[in-house]
Each structure stands twice: as structure tokens, then as C-alpha cells.
Amino acid sequence: MTDTGQQAVQAVVFDIGRVLIQWDLRCLFAKLIDDPAELEWFVGNVVTEEWHFQHDAGRPLAEMVPERIAQFPLYARHIEAYAARFNETVPGPVPGSIELVEELHARGVPLYAITNFGAEFWPRFCPTMPVFALFRDIVVSGYEKIAKPDRAIFDLAERRFALPAAQMLFIDDNGANIAAARALGWQVHHFRDAACLAEDLRARGLFS
């Protein structure tokens, strides 16, 4: 889904998880839990995406992990692995997306990102992806202690990137984040896959 704004796009702002990189808690925990049914129960009840979001929003692992172990003591080793081995939840880039970033950069389009990412995980993960060096600035929710879709993180990004929202194209896979950005005047692309994004970028004159 695309949303073609009236103003020319002066910068492209990416989400990272599930737009540039794949992310699935199962990629780590399948190494620790052999039974598929148990694995699904674990990621649905113990180390869940909803629980993980607390770290994205700024809560420290030193609070989260002991609290969760107290709730699920039989899974202490697994919960500790979440904190120590988070990078293993990222199996690789989203097919085609990194190439689009590189193409935009080659064409001189300013690149930024707004990501829901934990403050303790980001410095471990960021160096594994050289493409992040192409971004002029990345707003990381865990550092700011505000996360998408809170309007405060979009307002912060607008100030940091020094461009009005209406002149920036925001790309995210999450519908709530897209709705929040659109309501604040951003141009938006609801990400499905790299091919659809490339088509939208061409329609906006960012690709030839």
C-alpha cells in the first residue's frame, strides 16, 4: 500500500525490523527447544514479542529477565539466552531491501531510520549490518525510551532529521506505525515486500 503525497520526497525514512532485516524469535529458540509445539507455546507465552517490546520501549534487561525467570523458572536458561544471544533472532536481511537502500544512497537520497530496538541489543547488532553506515541518523526507541507508534518518536525524528514530515517518506511493515505517521503528515509506504517498495519509489521519482 502506498500513499503518494503532493510534495516531493526529500528523504526516505526506513523502519528496520521486517523491512530491512528479518526477525523471528523462533530462529534462536528452535536451537534450544526441539518440540515444535513447545516452541510455539514458548514464543507465545514466555519470550513473546509483546514482552520483548518492553525493552524496545526502554525497560532494561536487568529488570525484565529476572522478573520473567521468576514467572517461568523452568525456562531460566532460555530467557537468559534471549538476553545473551539476541542477534540469533535475526536470520538475515529482507530479500531485496538492502539493495534498495544502496540504490537510493547512490542516487544521493538522504536516508534515515526510526526503529523499535532495545538499547542493549542495538550496539551489538548494528555493527553486523554495514548498510547502516549509509544512514545519516537512526532514531532508536530504546535509547529514547519512546517507541512507535507513539507520536513522540515521530516528532523527535522530525526534529532530528531537520525536515518537515510532509517531505519525508516513512516505510514500515506495521499498520499502526503507518497510521500514526500518516496522521502526523508523513508520506508513507506500508511495506509488504521489496518489489512493491521499488515500484512506489519509482512512482515518486526516486528511481529512474
Residue 208 falls within a domain, yes or no? no
Domain boundary among 89, 114, 139: 89
- Whether omega for the bond prior to residue 110 falls within 30 degrees of 0, making it cis, is no
Query: Is the pTM of the predicted complex or chain greater than 0.85?
Result: yes
| CATH number of the domain residue 12 falls in | 3.40.50.1000
* Enclosing domain of residue 74: 26-89
Q: Are residues 172 and 138 in the same domain?
A: yes
Helical H segments across 61-96, by residue range? 61-71, 76-84
Cell representation of residue 127:
555493527
Residue 35 falls within a domain, yes or no? yes
Q: Amino acid letter at 42?
A: F
Q: Are residues 76 and 120 in the same domain?
A: no
Residue 93 DSSP label: B
Domains held by the chain: number? 2
Domain boundary among 89, 110, 144: 89
> For the segment 31-90, what is each residue's pLDDT rounded down to a tens digit?
999 999 999 999 999 999 999 999 999 999 999 999 999 999 999 999 999 999 999 999
* Separation of CA 65 from chain center: 22
Question: Phi/psi of residue 90, each to 5°?
Answer: -110, 105
Residue 177 falls within a domain, yes or no? yes
> For the segment 93-128, what is each residue's pLDDT rounded down to a tens digit?
999 999 999 999 999 999 999 999 999 999 999 999
Q: Are residues 11 and 37 in the same domain?
A: no
Domain boundary among 59, 74, 89: 89
Residue 30 falls within a domain, yes or no? yes
Residue 171 falls within a domain, yes or no? yes
Residue 119 falls within a domain, yes or no? yes
Cα gap 116→182, rounded to integer Å: 18
Q: Are residues 112 and 174 in the same domain?
A: yes
Q: Are residues 110 and 186 in the same domain?
A: yes
Q: Judge whether 154 and 180 are in contact, CB under 8 Å.
A: yes
Residue 21 DSSP label: B
